[in-house]
Amino acid sequence: DVKVTQSSRYLVKRTGEKVFLECVQDMDHENMFWYRQDPGLGLRLIYFSYDVKMKEKGDIPEGYSVSREKKERFSLILESASTNQTSMYLCASSALTIGENLFGPGTRLTVL
């Protein structure tokens, strides 16, 4: 059964901490995405990657960075967590030629 996995379902961090959210897909997909989900705002794209070591900014990249050292793994980094980054974070992947995103279960991050 193909899937996208995220390292944590729930995470609580303190303001100023460096936070790593990990995502792994087993479908050999070229594209990977990090979205942020907030009530009433839907999903907003933070960063995406078309290939290993390649990344592009999405709609809300401020305060975030990403890393893709291997094709199957895409990490989201909060360099210095702030309370306004409390949210649900969703990772997704897709094959190169189609748009269908396959999503992970999400990580609910709380920053105190």
Partner 1 sequence: AQSVTQPDIHITVSEGASLELRCNYSYGATPYLFWYVQSPGQGLQLLLKYFSGDTLVQGIKGFEAEFKRSQSSFNLRKPSVHWSDAAEYFCAVGGYNQGGKLIFGQGTELSVKP
Q: Which of 7, 67, 101, 110 binds partner 1 (CB under 8 A)?
A: 101
The partner residues of 19 in beta bridges, in order of sequence, read: 78
Told to check if 41 binds partner 1 by CB under 8 A, we report yes
Burial class of residue 32 in the structure, from the number of CB atoms within 10 Å of its CB (0-12 exposed, 13-18 middle, 19+ buried): buried
Name residues contacting partner 1, limited to 13-32 (CB under 8 A): 30-31
Of 19, 40, 71, 39, give the one whose Cα is nearest residue 7: 19
Of 88, 106, 78, 87, give the one whose Cα is nearest residue 15: 78
Choose the stretch contacting partner 1; rule: CB under 8 A; options: 14-22, 64-72, 74-82, 102-110: 102-110
Q: Rank residues 41 and 112 by Cβ distance to partner 1 and give the closer one.
A: 41
Residues in contact with partner 1 by the rule CB under 8 A = 4, 30-31, 33, 35, 40-45, 48, 50, 90, 92-106, 108
